[in-house]
Amino acid sequence: MDNRNTRRQRFSRRDFLRTLLTGGVAFTGIAASETVFGTKRNFNNRQPAPKEHGESHSNFGTVGEVDYQANGFDPHEMLYDWDYGEISTLPTGQTLREYQIVAVDKEIEIAPGVYFPGWMYNGRIPGPSLRCTEGDRIRIEFVNASAHPHTIHFHGIHAASMDGVPGVGAGEIGTGESTVYEFDAAPFGCHLYHCHATPLKRHIHKGLYGAFIVDPDPKKYQGQKREVAKTRNHAYQENEQYNEMLMVMNGFDTNFDGGNEVYAVNSIAFGYMKKPIQIRANQKQRIYLINITEFDPINSIHIHANFFDYYDHGTTLEPTLKIVDTIMQCQAQRGIVEFSFEGFEPGKYMFHAHQSEFAELGWMGFFEVVDG
Amino acid sequence: MNSKKDTFGSRGSISIWISALIPLLAIALLITLFLLGDPLALFSNSLPPIEELTFERIRITDDGFEATLINGGPDPVTISQVLVDEAYWKFEIIPSGSISRLGRATLFIPYPWVEYEAHEIVVITPSGATFSEEVPLSTPSPSFGWREFAAYGLIGVYVGVVPVVLGMLWYPAMKAIDRKWLGAILALTVGLLVFLLIDTLLEAFEIAAELPGFFQGIPLTLFVALLTWLGLLALGERQRAGKRSSGTNPGLYLASMIALGIGLHNLGEGLAIGAAFASGEASLGSFLVIGFMLHNLTEGIGIAAPLLPGSRPDAQKHRRVGLSTFAWLALLAGAPAIIGAWFGGFAFSPIFATIFLGIGLGAIWQVIVEVFNLLRDYADHEDTPLFSVLNVIGFSVGILIMYLTAFLVKF
C-alpha cells in the first residue's frame, strides 16, 4: 500500500513534469512568441511609418542661441558688410584701396554651445569682404598675429611674387611678421582670397578665407552691358535697386576627423533659419556666393519656390545659367545669383544646400519676404 | 600589574594610530601644496578639457530615443548639441547642465525613427568633440509591463530551465550505462565547462570593453572571477570539513556547485538575449531561443554526472536523489537565465553584467577543478589512466557539442 502510494505519487509528479514540458511550454511558448517576436514576424504588416511623433518639424535643428557679441561678428551684418578700404588716388589717376588684414587665432561659437578653435582674418570667419572696382590698385598690408605662419592668396590676376604661396615672393609670413600684397583688381567678378600656407587643408578649414569682389567698371562697356555693369558697381546709383548679400558656404570639422560637423553660410549653423533674412518683394536680390567648404568635393544652393540666374565666377555680364533653382560649386568656385520675389506671397522661403546632409548640419535658412 | 599593562597597551595603540596617520597627513599636505602651486600650468596652458562620454543604453520609445550617458573622463562634460543621422536635433537632458565626473544623464530626443532601420546618435561637446552610438535596428524598447515581464521571463525559462531539465532527463540512461563510461561522462562535463569558461570570458571581456575607462572593466572581470573562486574554495573546505559529521552527499554538493556555475553563465546568456531582444538585434527571434535550448541541453548532463552512483569512489553508499533535488538543481542552473533576461530586457547595465559574468567565470573555473579532481579520483579508483582514450573522447565531445550547437546562437 505504502509502495503503491509512493509510486502513484511519483507518477503524478512525472505527469506534472510531462505536462509542463509539453503542453504547458508549448502553450506559453505561443504567448511568448506573440509578445516578443510579434513585431518581427509581421513584416508584411508594417506600417508606412511609426506613429506621428508630434510636430517633428519643430524638433529639428540646434538647441539654444549663438552669442554673436562674444564671437565679434553677426552673420546678418556680415551679409551686407562690404569693406571698400582706405581710398585714395595715385598720381596716375588710378584709385588706390588700402587694407590691413591681421591673421589671428580665436575661438568662435559656430553652433549653440559648440566652439571651434579658428584661425581667421580680422577676427571673423569669413574674413572682411573686400570690394573694389576693376582696375583699382589694391594694397594689402598683411600682419600675422597668429601662432602659425600664414599667407593671403588672392584669386585674381597678379604677379607671381604677389601670389601668396609658400616659397614664392614673401612666401609664408611667420608669427609677428608682415608683408604687403599689391596688384590691380582684375578681372571683375566674385572672387575670394585664402591662406595658402601648408598644410593647405588645415589652413583653409580653420577659417582663413574671405570674399574679394571686383565690380565691373561701366565706363569700359557699351550699351546694355554698360547698364548691367552699373547695377553691379557699388559706386553707381543703379546698384541700389539690388539687395546685395555675401554668402560664403563653409564647414567646420570640430573633432578634426576630416569631416565637417557643422555646415553653414557665413559660419553659423542655422544662423539664417533661427532669424530669417528679411527681403522686400519689390527689390531685386543678388547673392555673391562662394564655396570654401573643405573635405567635401562640392557644395550647392537651392532656393525654394523661385528660380534664379547665375553668373559663374561673376566674370560675365550675361548669366552663364538662366532660370535654375539649384547650382553647385566645387571648392573655391563662386558666382553671382540673381532673383526676385516680386509678386510673391509674403512669407518664409527656404534656401539651403541641396546635399540634405549639409542642410541638416546647419546650411539652411529662410528669406522672409515682406511687402514693399 | 594588570592596570600597568593596560595603560601601556592603550598608549601603544594611540602611537600606532598616530604613526599610521602620518603618511596620510603628509600626502594631504603635499596634494594641497601641489594644487596651490599648480606646477603643471606649463603643460595645461590652453589645453581643451579631456572629455570622455560613454553611451550606456539607448531606449527607443514611440516619441524617439532615450539615451543614457556616463561621463568617464576627469572633467565635467556638457552636451551642446545632438545629431541624429547627421542632422541637428532638439533634445532635453536630465539632469540639465553638465554631467559631472562619473555622473550619468539621460537625453530625450524626439525623433521620427524608422522601424527596422539603423540610426546613429552623436553628441557634440563645447570643444567640438563628438561621441556616438549606433541603434542597429530600431524597434520599440520593451516598457515595463506584466505582459513584457512574463514574455522575457519565459525566454529565460526556455533558454535556461527547459534545456537543463531536458538534459537531466538523461540521468536514468546515464545511470544504466556501464561503469567504464562514467569517466567519459565526467570528461564530457569538463569539456562543456571549459567551453562555457571560454565563452563567458569572451562575453565578459566584450561587455567590459564597453565600460567607461575608470571601471577598468577587464581587470574588474578577472578580479571578480578570482575572488569568487577563492570564496568557493573556502566554502568547499568548510564543506569537506563538515561533511563527515553531517553526512551530506558530496556528489550532490558538487552537482550544486556545477549548477551554480552554469547558472551564473546562464545569467550572462539571459542578459545577452534579453538585451538583444530589447534592442531589436535579435532578428533571428525564435531561432535564437531554439539555438540556446539545444546549446544548453548538455548542461543538464554536466549537473547530473556527479550524482551518478559510483562516480565518487569515496562515497560510502549511494543515496537516492529525489525529484525535488533535480528540480532544485535545474532551478539553480536555469533560473538565473530568467533574471538575466529581465535585466537584459529592461535595465541592461554593462557594469552589473561584467560583475555577474566575472562571478560566473570564477564559479565555472572552480567547478572545472572539482570535476577534474573527481575524474582523477575515479580514474585512480578504477585503476584506469586519467587521460584514457575514452576520457579524451568524452572531453572532446563535450567541447564539440557546445561548439557546434553554438553555431545556432553566434552570428
Cβ contact (<8 Å) for B86 and A361? yes
Give residue-wise pLDDT tens across range A179-220.
999 999 999 999 999 999 999 999 999 999 999 999 999 999
Is residue B92 scored above 60 in pLDDT?
yes
Res. B223: pLDDT tops 70: yes
Residue A21 lies in a domain: no
To test the contact with chain A by mutation, choose from B81, B283, B346 the residue with the greatest count of A C-beta atoms within 10 A, namely B81
The per-residue pLDDT for A54 is: 40
Instruction: Please state, in angstroms and rounded to a whole number, the distance separating the CA atoms of residues A176 and B341.
Output: 65
Using CB atoms, pick whichever of A37, A112, A362 lies closest to residue B285.
A37
A158/A138 Cα distance (integer angstroms): 11
Q: Are B317 and B187 in contact (CB under 8 A)?
A: no
CA A351, CA A308: separation in Å to the nearest integer?
Answer: 12
The residue count for chain A: 372
Q: To 5 degrees, how large is the angle CA A327–CA A329–CA A333?
A: 130
More confident residue, B3 or A295: A295
Q: Residue A53 and residue B285: Cβ atoms within 8 Å?
A: no
Cβ contact B88–A61 (<8 Å):
yes
Lowest mean per-residue pLDDT among A36-50, A257-271, B108-122? A36-50
**Top-confidence residue, A104 or B1:** A104
Based on the number of CB atoms within 10 Å of its own CB, is B217 exposed (0-12), middle (13-18) or buried (19 or more)? buried
pLDDT of residue B364: 86
Whether residue A22 is contained in a domain is answered as no
Determine, for residues A111 and B78 on separate chains, whether the beta-carbon distance falls below 8 Å: no
CB atoms within 10 A of CB B170: 17
Binned at pLDDT 50, 70 and 90, residue B282 comes out as: low
Q: Do residue A63 and residue B150 have CB atoms under 8 angstroms apart?
A: no
In a domain, A315, yes or no: yes
pLDDT per residue as tens digits for the range A218-257: 999 999 999 999 999 999 999 999 999 999 999 999 999 9
In a domain, A20, yes or no: no
DSSP A141-189: EEEE-SSS-B--EESSS--GGGS--TTSTT-SBPTT-EEEEEEE--S-E
Q: Is residue A331 part of a domain?
A: yes
Q: Given CB atoms, is A237 within the 8 Å cutoff of chain B?
A: no
In this structure, are strands A137-144 and A95-111 parallel, antiparallel, or unpaired? Answer: parallel
The answer to whether the Cβ–Cβ distance between A360 and B323 falls below 8 Å is no
* B145 contact residues in A (CB cutoff 8 A): none
For B127, which residue in chain A has the nearest alpha carbon?
A115
- How distant is the Cα of B336 from the closest Cα of chain A, in angstroms? 18
Interchain proximity B78–A62, CB inside 8 Å = no
pLDDT score of A1 more than 60: no
Q: How far apart are CA A291 and CA A265, in angstroms?
A: 9
CB-closest option in B148, B165, B286 to A37:
B286
- Gap between the Cα atoms of B390 and B384, Å rounded: 10
A313 neighbors A335 (Cβ within 8 angstroms)? yes
d(CA B23, CA B60): 51
Q: Closest approach of chain B CAs to the CA of A367, in angstroms?
A: 21
Could you give the C-alpha distances from B388 to A113, B165, B171, in angstroms and in order? 70, 30, 23
Query: For residues A281 and A285, what is the distance between their CA atoms, to the nearest angstrom?
Result: 9
What is chain B's mean pLDDT, rounded? 84
- Other C-beta atoms closer than 10 Å to the C-beta of A25 total 18
Q: Does A142 touch chain B (CB under 8 A)?
A: no
What residues does each domain of chain B span? Answer: 53-135, 146-408
Q: What is the mean pLDDT of residues B236-262?
A: 74
Residue A309 has phi, psi (to 5 degrees) of -100, 150
Cβ–Cβ under 8 Å, residues A361 and A261: yes
- The packing angle between helices B350-382 and B217-246, to 10°, is 40
Name the residue among B63, B88, B139 with its Cβ closest to that of A360. B88
For the packed helices B350-382 and B323-346, what is the interaxial angle rounded to 10 degrees?
Answer: 150
Interface of A with B in 35-94 (CB under 8 A): 35-37, 39-41, 43, 46-47, 49-51, 53-54, 56, 58-64
DSSP state of B140: P
Given a cut of 90, whether residue B410 has pLDDT beyond it is no
Rounded CA-CA distance B50/B46 in Å is 12
Give the side-chain half-sphere CA count within 13 A for B303.
Answer: 32
CATH number at residue A192: 2.60.40.420
Whether residue B87 and residue A36 make contact (CB cut-off 8 A), yes or no, is no
Q: What is the mean pLDDT of residues A345-366?
A: 96
For residue A92, count other CB atoms closer than 10 A to its CB: 7
Sheet strands side by side (includes A209-215): A82-83, A129-133, A209-215, A189-194, A153-154
Closest Cβ opposite residue B81 in set A33, A60, A63: A63
pLDDT of residue B300: 86
Measured between CB atoms, does A10 come within 8 Å of chain B?
yes
**pLDDT tens digits along B345-371:** 887 788 888 888 888 888 889 888 888
Compute the nearest-CA separation of B387 from chain A (Å).
38
Per-residue pLDDT reduced to its tens digit, B5-15: 454 555 667 78
Please name the residues between 107 and 126 in chain A that touch chain B, using a CB distance below 8 Å.
Answer: 111-117
Chain Cα centroid distance, residue B250: 27
Amino acid at A73: F
Strands of B64-71's sheet in order across: B53-61, B64-71, B104-110, B92-94
Query: Has residue A14 been placed in a domain?
Result: no
d(CA B111, CA B91): 9
In angstroms, what separates the C-alpha of A58 from chain B's closest C-alpha? 8
Whether A254 contacts chain B with CB within 8 A? yes
Q: Do A49 and B112 touch (CB under 8 A)?
A: yes
> From the CA of B291, how many Å to the nearest CA of chain A?
15
Interface test with B, best of A12, A17, A25, A36 (most B CBs within 10 A): A36
- Full strand arrangement of the beta sheet holding B130-135: B88-89, B81-84, B119-124, B130-135
- What φ, ψ does residue A81 adopt, rounded to 5°? -90, 80
Domain count, chain A: 1
Cα torsion for B84, B89, B90, B92, to the nearest 10°?
A: 30
**What separation in angstroms does the CA of A47 have from each of A34, A52, B135?**
18, 11, 20
By CA distance, what is A12's nearest residue in B?
Answer: B323
Q: Predicted ipTM? A: 0.79
Chain B environment of A269 (Cβ under 8 Å) = 88
pLDDT band at B68 (very low <50, low <70, confident <90, very high): very high
- B404 vs B319: which has the higher pLDDT: B404
* pLDDT for the residue A178: 97
Distance from CA of B154 to the nearest CA of A (A): 7
Q: Which amino acid would we find at residue B407?
A: F
Q: In terms of residue numbers, what domain contains A230?
A: 68-370
The answer, yes or no, to whether the previous bond of A199 is cis (omega within 30 of 0) is yes
Rounded Cα distance, A52 and A34, in Å: 25
- The closest CB to that of A114, out of B64, B126, B154, belongs to B126
The per-residue pLDDT of chain A, averaged, comes to 88
Chain B: residue whose CA lies nearest to A52: B112
Q: Which of B188, B166, B113, B105 is nearest to B399 (CA)?
A: B188
**Distance between the two ends of chain B, CA-based, in angstroms?**
77
Rounded Cα distance between A316 and A141, Å, is 30
The residue with cell 515682406 is: A370
Q: Considering only residues 164 to 203 of chain A, which have any Cβ-Cβ distance to chain B shorter than 8 Å?
A: none
Summarised one tens digit per residue, pLDDT across range B287-303 is 777 777 877 888 888 88
Nearest-neighbour CA in chain B from A324: distance (Å): 27
Residue A112 lies in a domain: yes
Q: How is B330-387 classified by DSSP, letter by letter?
A: HHHHHHHHHHHHHHHHH---HHHHHHHHHHHHHHHHHHHHHHHHHHHHHHHHHT--TT
Q: Each residue of A242-272: b (16+ CB within 10 Å) or e? A: bbbbbbbbbbbbbbeeeebbbbbbbbbbbbb
Peptide bond into A112 cis (omega under 30): no
Helix, strand, coil: what percent of chain A each, to 5?
25, 35, 40
How far is residue A162 CA from its own chain's centroid?
29
Identify the pLDDT of residue B280.
64
Note the pLDDT tens digit of each residue in A97-127.
999 999 999 999 999 999 999 999 999 999 9
DSSP state of A124: B
Contact B113 A50 (CB under 8 A): yes
Q: How far apart are CA B111 and CA B141, in angstroms?
A: 14
Distance CA B253, CA B303 (A): 11
User: Does CATH number 1.10.3470 belong to domain B53-135?
Assistant: no
